[in-house]
Structure 1
Amino acid sequence: MQFIQLDEGLVIIEEAFQKAKRIVEGYPDTKFTSEEYMKFHACVYTLCYKPGDDNKVLLHEKFKKSLEETINSTVLPSLAAKENELLLRELVLMWSNYKLMAKWLCRFFEYLDRYYSSFCCGVSLGETSIDCFRSMVFNVLHGRIQAAAMSLINEERHGKQIDPKLLQDVMTIFMEIGENRSTSYYENFVQAMLEETAAFYSQSSSQWVVYDSLTDYIQKVNWCIMQEKERAGHYLHPTSVKKLIQVLQCQLLDMNALKLVEKLQSQNSSQLDYQEILSKCACLSIGEESSTPTLAEHLSALMAKSAHIH
């Protein structure tokens, strides 16, 4: 084994960091040759081979500091002036490039990761790279990121064409950033989205139930649930889609059951008319499971119960 001095080794390692940084700077096709990989990997191995932990501690700090410098010099400035969809697109790009950079660096520092970072620090270098991005980028911009994602969902709800793949990528970032953490950024986002959805449909249904006929109202409910289910299926986890449908069910049907019964009675709708209304939404299930009632079944049971109470 050819030993090298610490100063000489740090120069070699800095070369690795500077080239890897180019990935985040907008050159994701940056590649390392097999010779470069061997040089950087061997350098870290040689410095770590020295007895004691002094070099290992220094290399671990160097790894983390280099990530922080990249975030401060490149990632944060690229996100600072952007809002809404542009912010989300830049976030997806930065996160993708940052992960690729960190992947290369973790390969060079494999020996340090295996015999010091994971063992002595209790955190792998891969986890350290995520921690840096989480604390310096995501936690700082979380409010703006969530607002931008919510804005896209609302735009689509009002008929504007959006890029569902972008929302899907953002949801993936929420999950990856929050993985193995007590705080689930994805679940927090879903909860906020459900609350906003409930408020939107509570306000909308309060007007529909007054001015629309029973037939028109049920058709709107049918259409809204189908549209929301289809849209959310592009970027939310199936369990989250189910929660969304339950919110719609509550706001559009459960909260207005008595008014729907009154409307049925005031309009002198015959049983035949009512059955025709139900038949129009008979195939739409509230959830995914086969045991879940259809919209028609739920509505029929709900109105029967409300009529009895009424």
Structure 2
Amino acid sequence: MTPERKIILLDDGWKHMKEGIATLRRILADEPNVSFNSESYMALYTTIYNMCTQKAPHDYSQQLYDKYKEALDEYIITTVLPSMRQKHGEFLLRELVLRWKNHKVMIKWLSRFFHYLDRYFISRRSLPSLKSVGWESFKTLVFDEFKATVTTVVIALIDEDREGQIIDRALVKNVLDVYIELSQDPAIVPSGSDSGLKLYSQDFQDAFQQGTIDYYSKNAQTWIMEDTCPEYMLKAEESLQKEKERVGHYLHSSTEPILMEAAQGELLAKNIDRILNKENSGCKVLLCDEKDDDLSRMFRLFSRIKDGLPPVSQTFKKHVKEVGMSLLEQAIDAAASKKNDKKDVVSALELDYVRKILDLHDKYMAYVIGCFQNHTLFHKALKEAFEVVCNKDVAGCTSAELFASYCDSILKKGGIEKLSDEAIEENLDKVVKILTYISDKDLFIEFHRKKLGRRLLFDKSGNDEQERSLLSKLKQYFGGQFTSKMEGMLTDMTVAKDNQSRYENHIESNPELHPSVDLSVQVLTTGFWPTYKSSDINLPSEMVKCVEVFKEFYQTVTKHRKMNWIFSLGNCHVVGKFDAKPIELIVTTYQGALLLLFNEAERLSFSEIVTQLNLSQDDTVRVLHSLSCAKYKILNKEPSGRTISPKDVFEFNHKFTDKMRRIKVPLPPSDEKKKIIDDVNKDRRFAIDASLVRIMKSRKIMAHQNLVAECVEQLSRMFKPDIKMIKRRIEDLITREYLERDKDAANSYRYLA
């Protein structure tokens, strides 16, 4: 039989435990030569074990659980609190860290002694663990008393750190670790976890957030008064960077978003207008002075805060618009100063204004991509600024006309711009990008088509590949329906060259058909080309024979096409036999036909010329003006003067001479702009009709406002439709019975199938 175990009474057992606790307290006080050996440790553990496993009424588990807490509380009250109350400032922090460290050691040892309680009694009763009881004891008796003072001291130390003073960062971290550990229930949450940070959040973080606000509010007011915008932003960026580093040094990671929001709010959000509009150094000045680094810093800073970038982008937009409008005014002034010389005006507008606009766009696009990191807000700001500038007229010329003229100048053989192939390609790219800002894109297309036609017909195009390259870019942006005709024009020119080669071979193989003069004909497809003025001019016999021979040849090639001769676009070489020397004259077909009349007569009146040529009076006036009143006076006019009248009489000027042996006699420029604009307006009417019918066909019934809005949206890709024109087209469609007014719904329309 096993002998019965001796009963340990509560007082006797606890007396033994108090001796062990006293030894533990001496160890924590760093007394020399004091320690636990394995025998003493086992004796204490066994005492607790026996007292908890004795049969009732001698099972002292509950009493030992209570005495465990009493022992901790007694140690804190008699030893920890008196020591803490004697310390201030950093010394208080060090004492707190030391006492918390010792307290955890004490809990660790006591938990070992009382382990049997944790393992069985506490788990069965669902009581707080010994470790939880120990931590709660320290929190209630020590932390709650000193937390306000400790928080104030810590925040003061952090402010010193912000001012550049050297502080004990390890101490601050250790103190804050006390907050973090006490926030967590050791029985549930592992130490260091991000969850369960109630004490850290309430007792430190909230006060620290307010301290940060106070600190940076004061500094921001001082800096913004004393520093320039770049200096202020540099200080703000450095401060924010240091705050981020501060988190890594001694703050919990959960503090970073709160800390950064507080600092950014005071440094940036609350002062955004004062920073951007700082006199002599704000955002506008940085743009004017091309301060790339400062603008990049401004973007980085204001992208941190909510709604920080819109004010910056609006300032950017306003600045770009002002610079663009300044260029516009300069172009208008330049045009006004040269209003007497139309050629000079066009040159100034093309080269000075258009090139500057392209350079301006390049410059500020570089800002958008570089300084503003390709942000959509700044792309939008740039677009809106250029839409304002690029849709203004310059001295009566629309931007559509100007950019078409600029393309003509760089694509034309011997044009004003002398550019390499790479530079031409680059400039075409720039022009197409700018065209996206122009509302009347269809007007540009028509101007460009007209100028392309002249380049091709008069062999002025520098390079077919570059012409096709521009069409490819336009097709990409505007769609194939707007470039198909121009692509057809280029194809026509290739076919025309083949036809001319076959014609020349035909003449060579049939010498009897050879006309007295050489003839070159370009056969084109009517639908691709702009409409050109034609007339049934009475050609001289030499020219008539050429035309007849070509007609007979072309009928052998195809019998299914009708040829319409456009003599107004033709040109010819005529030799004038003047007294001084013969001179080769490069003239239009009309000019050549008129000059050949003087082979049969020395003097001709205006009416005789009109009758013999069968030309309109307007065309006859233009031709006669070029030959008698302009630079080259090949005909003498009676009476003399600068204008042509029906009573004038003309005779060949035998005494005319020039230092050149070949001269080109230009016609006075005709006003094609009005015709182009009229053609575009006609096309727009068709486009609006088609859009309205397309919309109504799918919707059947639609309110007026909705129909107009959707029509504008559909057509705005190519032009900005006029609301009044849309209303007129709706009325016209009602008249033509495509639509009718809805009897059941006011101000609505119904589609008629």
- 1:5 is aligned, of 5, 8, 18, to 8
Q: Deviations over 1:33-86 (max 9, x none)?
A: 111111111110101111247511221122111111110111101100111110
Q: 1:2 offset after TM fit, Å?
A: 3.9
Equivalent position of 1:19 in the other structure: 23
Q: Which amino acid aligns with 1:152?
A: L
Q: 1:204 offset after TM fit, Å?
A: 1.4
Q: Counterpart of 2:278 in 1: which secondary structure? A: helix
CA gap 1:306/1:142 in 2 versus in 1, 3 angstroms: farther
Contact in 2 for aligned 1:84/1:148 (Cα 8 Å): yes
Equivalent position of 1:33 in the other structure: 37
Equivalent position of 1:173 in the other structure: 178
TM value normalised by structure 2: 0.37
Tell me the C-alpha RMSD between the 2 structures: 2.7
Give the unaligned 5+ runs of structure 2. 187-195, 319-753
The 5-angstrom pairing of residues 112-127 of structure 1 reads: 112-120=117-125, 122-127=127-132
Give percent identity, aligned residues only.
Answer: 32
Distance in 1, Cα, partners of 2:173 & 2:96: 13
Q: Deviations over 1:229-280 (max 9, x none)?
A: 2223211122312321222211111111111221167766142544221345
Query: Is 1:242 paired with 2:257?
Result: yes
Give the unaligned 5+ runs of structure 1. 283-293
CA gap 1:191/1:301 in 2 versus in 1, 3 angstroms: same
Equivalent position of 1:304 in the other structure: 312
Q: 1:227 offset after TM fit, Å?
A: 2.0
Contact in 2 for aligned 1:68/1:132 (Cα 8 Å): yes
Distance in 2, Cα, partners of 1:243 & 1:251: 13
Equivalent position of 1:275 in the other structure: 292
Question: Which deviates more from structure 2 when the two are superposed, residues 63-72 or residues 23-32?
Answer: 23-32
Distance in 2, Cα, partners of 1:29 & 1:219: 58
Q: Which amino acid aligns with 1:45?
A: Y
Q: 1:303 offset after TM fit, Å?
A: 3.8
Distance in 2, Cα, partners of 1:87 & 1:94: 10
Contact in 2 for aligned 1:229/1:245 (Cα 8 Å): yes
Q: Which has the larger radius of gyration?
A: 2
CA gap 1:273/1:246 in 2 versus in 1, 3 angstroms: farther
Bigger relative contact order (CA 8 A; separation at least 6): 1
Q: Counterpart of 1:44 in 2: which secondary structure? A: helix
Equivalent position of 2:226 in the other structure: 211
Query: Is 1:197 paired with 2:190?
Result: no
- 1:57 is aligned, of 56, 59, 62, to 62
- 2:83 is aligned, of 78, 87, 97, to 78
Q: 1:26 offset after TM fit, Å?
A: 3.7
Distance in 2, Cα, partners of 1:5 & 1:266: 86
Question: Which deviates more from structure 2 when the two are superposed, residues 162-171 or residues 241-250?
Answer: 241-250
Distance in 2, Cα, partners of 1:143 & 1:154: 17
Equivalent position of 1:185 in the other structure: 199
Q: Which amino acid aligns with 1:233?
A: G
TM value normalised by structure 1: 0.87
Equivalent position of 1:262 in the other structure: 277
Q: Which amino acid aligns with 1:295?
A: L
Question: Which deviates more from structure 2 when the two are superposed, residues 47-56 or residues 272-281?
Answer: 272-281
Contact in 2 for aligned 1:23/1:98 (Cα 8 Å): no
Q: Deviations over 1:82-131 (max 9, x none)?
A: 11110000110011011101110110111112222343252111111111
Contact in 2 for aligned 1:209/1:217 (Cα 8 Å): yes
The 5-angstrom pairing of residues 129-140 of structure 1 reads: 129-140=134-145
Q: Which amino acid aligns with 1:21?
A: R
Distance in 2, Cα, partners of 1:309 & 1:120: 72
Contact in 2 for aligned 1:222/1:281 (Cα 8 Å): no
Equivalent position of 1:220 in the other structure: 235
Equivalent position of 2:108 in the other structure: 103
Distance in 2, Cα, partners of 1:308 & 1:234: 39
Question: Which deviates more from structure 2 when the two are superposed, residues 206-215 or residues 299-308?
Answer: 299-308
CA gap 1:29/1:200 in 2 versus in 1, 3 angstroms: farther
Q: Deviations over 1:150-208 (max 9, x none)?
A: 12112212222111111111111101112139881211211211111111111211222
CA gap 1:171/1:29 in 2 versus in 1, 3 angstroms: farther
Distance in 1, Cα, partners of 2:83 & 2:30: 11
Contact in 1 for aligned 2:228/2:281 (Cα 8 Å): no
CA gap 1:266/1:101 in 2 versus in 1, 3 angstroms: closer
Equivalent position of 1:288 in the other structure: none
Question: Which structure: greater helix fraction?
Answer: 1
Distance in 1, Cα, partners of 2:214 & 2:241: 19
Q: Counterpart of 1:269 in 2: which secondary structure? A: helix
Q: Which amino acid aligns with 1:304?
A: V
Distance in 2, Cα, partners of 1:118 & 1:84: 42
Contact in 2 for aligned 1:113/1:125 (Cα 8 Å): yes
Distance in 2, Cα, partners of 1:253 & 1:195: 16
Contact in 2 for aligned 1:23/1:100 (Cα 8 Å): no
Contact in 2 for aligned 1:84/1:147 (Cα 8 Å): no
Contact in 1 for aligned 2:180/2:197 (Cα 8 Å): no
Contact in 1 for aligned 2:244/2:260 (Cα 8 Å): yes
Q: 1:296 offset after TM fit, Å?
A: 6.5
Q: 1:306 offset after TM fit, Å?
A: 6.5
Q: Counterpart of 2:106 in 1: which secondary structure? A: helix
Q: Which amino acid aligns with 1:184?
A: K
Equivalent position of 2:607 in the other structure: none
Distance in 2, Cα, partners of 1:206 & 1:29: 60
Query: Is 1:295 paired with 2:314?
Result: no
- 2:52 is aligned, of 48, 53, 56, to 48
- 1:148 is aligned, of 153, 157, 160, to 153
Contact in 2 for aligned 1:64/1:128 (Cα 8 Å): yes
Contact in 1 for aligned 2:223/2:232 (Cα 8 Å): yes
Distance in 2, Cα, partners of 1:88 & 1:230: 22
Q: Counterpart of 1:234 in 2: which secondary structure? A: helix
Q: 1:29 offset after TM fit, Å?
A: 9.0
Distance in 2, Cα, partners of 1:298 & 1:142: 33
